[in-house]
Amino acid sequence: MASEIEIVKASIYDWDSVIDLAWRTFLKFEAAEYGAEGIKSFRDFLAAPMLKRMFILGDYVVFAAKDGEKYAGMISLRNKKHISLLFVEEAYHRKGIGRKLILEAEKYIRSEYGEEAMTVNAAPYAVEFYHKLQFVDVAPQLSAEGITYTPMERVFG
């Protein structure tokens, strides 16, 4: 299935679909790890007008994995090299979509900013995935506003 997937830089026409994908996937796979405060914090982040404004201005870059017209996954970057969101629809799990999104983000970070690493605050559900892609923990697991995460970094090889 992954060979049919196209990774595209998202446009304003993709915004609602990729944010909806992030929210649905969060609810299915991560929300159980968080209490009401964490769920509200995540929802508020996704719905914040400032996030969409940053996207429109080019300060919040989003790539979408598309299977024809269907959205299979998404990744977003902030602060040049930080993965803000990475979600893949359940039907596309373990098909290489997350890896393709990470590689596209790496290519973008290198070409646009000349950076040699990327960072992420990995949700508990995703820590093992990131470890498989050579991300290393740079701090112990933390929690803020009800969101639990592990700060990680991947130096490009």
pLDDT tens-digit profile of 66-76? 999 999 999 99
User: Mind listing the domains of the chain with CATH numbers?
Assistant: 2-155 (3.40.630.30)
Whole-angstrom distance, CA of residue 114 vs CA of residue 98: 22
Other Cβ atoms closer than 10 A to 91: 11
Spatial separation of the C-alpha atoms in residues 116 and 96, rounded to whole Å: 23
- pLDDT value for 1: 44
Q: Decide: 115 and 109 in contact? Cβ < 8 Å.
A: yes
CA proximity to 138, closest of 127, 151, 125, 154:
151
* 18 φ/ψ angles, rounded to the nearest 5 degrees: -75, -35
pLDDT digits 0-9 by tens, 83-123:
999 999 999 999 999 999 999 999 999 999 999 999 999 99
Average of per-residue pLDDT values in the chain? 95
Q: Are 140 and 46 in contact, with CB atoms under 8 Å apart?
A: no
Using DSSP's 3-state secondary structure scheme, residue 116 falls into coil
Q: What is the DSSP letter of 49?
A: H
Give dist(CA 122, CA 141) in Å, integer. 9
Kindly provide the residue ranges of all beta strands, DSSP E only, lying in 35-104, ordered along the sequence.
61-67, 70-78, 82-88
Give the model confidence (pLDDT) of 21-66 as tens digits: 999 999 999 999 899 999 999 999 999 999 999 999 999 999 999 9
Residue 7, both tokens? 């990774």
